[in-house]
């Protein structure tokens, strides 16, 4: 069954082009131009798999729409990808305060958007894909299922934190500057500051608990994931 996506976007041209692109990818798509219409659409059966949600809407803001979706039992688990033109909103939007699963910053490329949407939906589908697991000391990462364990306890990461972790793990043993991480993980010509990287690395380390030490700070350079779990160069 095709996955269902609701697009909420008040710029009609952009809405049309997004609908077209997502339909071409095989998704079942419905569009809304106001927050109110979006909430109505999202709560109709069958509930969508993902809501692509513009932050700035004419009636209620995307933030409010996201909160309402999270607050209603039927839509609480729907994936929300926020679309924002304001980079400074990102931390709040993806963080605990609002609870979006991921975001893209306008202007974004259709290709990037599709990749992000696919990654999120794959996480939701879980185990119908062959798993690609990486074990590293106390850490275990399942890339295809978007799941992470430390000492066999599952750690819940946001899509962004997951991308940050897998980028570091894939490039383990190699120094990663903040700019490199911004380009790969955030995928935008950074309007946001490199401090955002530090904030997210800090949060990721906290969530990883005892496995957080694998992410090392290279003073004046950036970050580096250890090449071996027992390596200690810090």
* Shortest reach from residue 57's CB to Ca ion, in Å: 6
- Minimal distance, residue 60 CB to Ca ion, in Å: 12
The whole-angstrom separation of Cα 50 and Cα 128 is 18
**Closest alpha carbon to 57 in 110, 91, 11, 18:** 11
Asked if 119 and 111 count as a contact pair (C-beta separation under 8 A), the reply is: no
* Residue with smaller CB distance to Ca ion, 54 or 143: 54
Tokens of 53: 């949600």
Taking Cα atoms as reference points, which of 163, 164, 159, 148 lies closest to residue 211? Answer: 148
**Closer residue to Ca ion (CB): 32 or 168:** 32
Residues that bind Ca ion (CB under 5 A): 10, 54, 56
| Position of minimal CB gap to Ca ion | 56
* Distance of closest approach, residue 109 Cβ to Ca ion, in angstroms: 18
Q: Where are the alpha helices (DSSP H) in the chain?
A: 12-24, 35-43, 62-71, 90-94, 110-125, 159-170, 178-181, 195-208
Q: Name the residue nearer to Ca ion (CB basis): 33 or 176.
A: 33
Measured from the CB of residue 146, what is the shortest distance to Ca ion in angstroms?
28
Cβ proximity to Ca ion, 10 vs 216, nearer residue: 10
Nearer to Ca ion (CB atom), residue 85 or residue 218: 85
State the residue for tokens 């950074």: 190
Q: How far is the CB of 208 from Ca ion (least distance, A)?
A: 36
Tell me phi and psi for residue 161, to 5 degrees.
Answer: -60, -40
């Amino acid at each position: 069954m095709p996955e269902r996506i609701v697009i909420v976007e008040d710029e009609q041209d952009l809405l049309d082009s997004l609908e077209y692109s997502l339909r071409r990818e095989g998704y079942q798509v419905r569009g809304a131009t106001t927050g109110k219409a979006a909430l109505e659409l999202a709560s109709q059966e069958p509930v969508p798999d993902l809501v692509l949600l513009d932050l700035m809407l004419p009636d209620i803001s995307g933030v409010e729409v996201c909160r309402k979706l999270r607050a209603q039992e039927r839509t609480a688990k729907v994936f929300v990808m926020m679309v924002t033109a304001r980079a400074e909103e990102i931390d709040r939007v993806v963080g605990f305060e609002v609870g979006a699963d991921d975001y893209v910053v306008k202007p974004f490329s259709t290709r990037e958007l599709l990749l992000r949407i696919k990654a999120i939906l794959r996480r939701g589908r879980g185990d119908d894909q062959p798993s690609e697991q990486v074990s590293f000391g106390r850490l275990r990462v399942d890339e295809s299922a978007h799941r992470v364990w430390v000492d066999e306890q599952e750690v819940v990461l946001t899509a962004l934190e997951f991308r940050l972790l897998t980028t570091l793990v894939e490039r383990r043993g190699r120094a990663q500057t903040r700019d490199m991480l911004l380009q790969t993980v955030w995928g935008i010509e950074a309007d946001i500051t490199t401090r955002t990287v530090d904030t997210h690395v800090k949060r990721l380390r906290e969530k990883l608990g005892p496995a957080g030490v694998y992410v090392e700070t290279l003073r004046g350079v950036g970050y580096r994931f250890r090449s071996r779990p027992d390596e200690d160069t810090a």
